């Protein structure tokens, strides 16, 4: 849902940006769908306020502790599902050697 035409100078007021942002669930969708409103909000310092209703996709640095990774891994049946579903948690688990604990390999006998 991209901007169909360029808006006139001054169109992206805080109120108009707020209305536009309500169409999107994430900041990335907002940026892709309405770059003008997004950039105006960013330049004017409104972005955090305007995007407060949106879900946050990226977790803060240090979020993927062993406990959080293990909790996240319980949502998946396989390592592949885990990797596709939550790649950052998977990456942290792989890097720290926790995958075997979260997804024990079964021996064929």
Does residue 11 fall inside a structural domain?
yes
Whole-prediction pTM: 0.51
**What's the rounded Cα separation, in Å, for the pair 94 and 19?**
42
**What's the rounded Cα separation, in Å, for the pair 57 and 86?**
10
- Domains in the chain, number: 2
Shared-domain flag, residues 10 and 43: yes
Residue with tokens 């994430």: 26
The domain in which residue 81 lies consists of 66-102
- Phi, psi dihedral angles at 33 (to 5 degrees): -85, -30
Interior angle at CA 83, CA 82 and CA 86, nearest 5: 70
Rounded-to-5 percentages of helix, strand, coil across the chain: 50, 0, 50
- The tens digit of pLDDT for each residue in 18-73 reads 999 999 998 889 999 999 999 999 999 999 899 888 877 677 789 999 999 999 99
Does residue 52 fall inside a structural domain?
yes
Shared-domain flag, residues 46 and 82: no
Does residue 107 fall inside a structural domain?
no
């Amino acid at each position: 849902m991209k901007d169909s035409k360029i808006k006139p100078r001054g169109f992206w007021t805080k109120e108009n940006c707020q209305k536009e942002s309500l169409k999107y669930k994430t900041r990335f969708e907002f940026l892709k769908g309405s770059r003008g409103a997004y950039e105006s909000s960013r330049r004017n310092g409104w972005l955090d306020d305007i995007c407060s209703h949106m879900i946050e996709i990226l977790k803060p640095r240090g979020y993927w502790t062993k406990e959080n990774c293990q909790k996240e891994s319980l949502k998946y049946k396989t390592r592949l599902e885990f990797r596709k579903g939550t790649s950052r948690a998977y990456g942290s688990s792989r890097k720290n050697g926790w995958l075997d604990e979260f997804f024990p390999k079964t021996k064929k006998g």
